[in-house]
Amino acid sequence: MHHFKGAIFDMDGTLLDSMPVWDRLSERYLSRFGIRVAERDYVAIEGMTQMQAAQYFIDAYPALPMDAQTLAQGLDELIDARYEALARPRDGVLHLLDALRERGIGMAVATLTARRHAEKALRAHGMLDYFRFLLTIEDVGVSKRQPDIYLHAAGRLGLTPTECIVFEDAPYACTTAQRAGFTVCGMAEPAYAAGVCETRRASTFFVEHSFDELWGKML
């Protein structure tokens, strides 16, 4: 991997096996108030910040007995509990991070997850110190359907897109990064099984189960 100078990692589903944290999260919380979350709601909030998603639900379900700030705080507490109970490092990830650090590769995280949760989750698994910085959707203001978060990360690493590899599990995010000029390593993720063909199309490298699969290919 000597020709890459930088590596930009998604967190949920990539660094951490943590997609179950988010599985029907809004539904689990809002069901306490008699709200049945529809599939269209999950489509609508894809890529939103927690606060944006909370405001969406307040607007969509006027019967909710709270404001957006209170709803966001309630979701926040549930996210905390679920990260602690469910999130685990992806297989082989520490092995990969050690190898990249030994090679002097600059590493960053680009995540849709709020900074507080991302830092806490990575720190809990001894991973935070591998990265020069974390960028979140809160920092850039747009979802990964636009390349801003990757471009900002590359810029902060002092690199161009062609000098960086992006590790991602979301099909649309893989496509975004690839179109912006990054080399992509896609990850198989059950939550995105329906889009795995798109992930493979956008990816130069692909991980089925473990980062150890990259030995002899990328490394």
Q: How confident is the model at residue 3 (pLDDT cuts 50, 70, 90)?
A: confident
Shared-domain flag, residues 12 and 42: no
What mean pLDDT comes out for the span 129-134? 98
- Is the predicted pLDDT of residue 188 greater than 60, yes or no? yes
Coil, strand or helix at 216 = coil
pTM, full prediction: 0.92
Shared-domain flag, residues 46 and 99: no
The chain-wide mean pLDDT, for the chain, equals: 95
Residue 148 lies in a domain: yes
- pLDDT for 80-101, tens place per residue? 999 999 999 999 999 999 999 9
Residue 170 belongs to domain with CATH number: 3.40.50.1000
Total domains in the chain come to: 2
Residues near 41 by beta carbon (within 8 Å), at least 6 away in sequence: 26, 56, 57, 60
Q: How confident is the model at residue 192 (pLDDT cuts 50, 70, 90)?
A: very high
> Where is average pLDDT lowest: 41-45, 104-108, 132-136?
41-45
Residues near 72 by beta carbon (within 8 Å), at least 6 away in sequence: 50, 51, 53, 54
Residue 74 belongs to domain with CATH number: 1.10.150
Distance CA 21, CA 84 (A): 9
What mean pLDDT comes out for the span 148-153? 98
- Is the predicted pLDDT of residue 182 greater than 90, yes or no? yes
Residue 219 lies in a domain: no
Residue 1 lies in a domain: no
For residues 32 and 74, the answer to whether their CB atoms sit within 8 Å is no
- Is the predicted pLDDT of residue 1 greater than 60, yes or no? no
Q: Which amino acid is at 65?
A: P
Distance CA 200, CA 207 (A): 10
Residue range(s) defining the domain that contains residue 74: 20-86
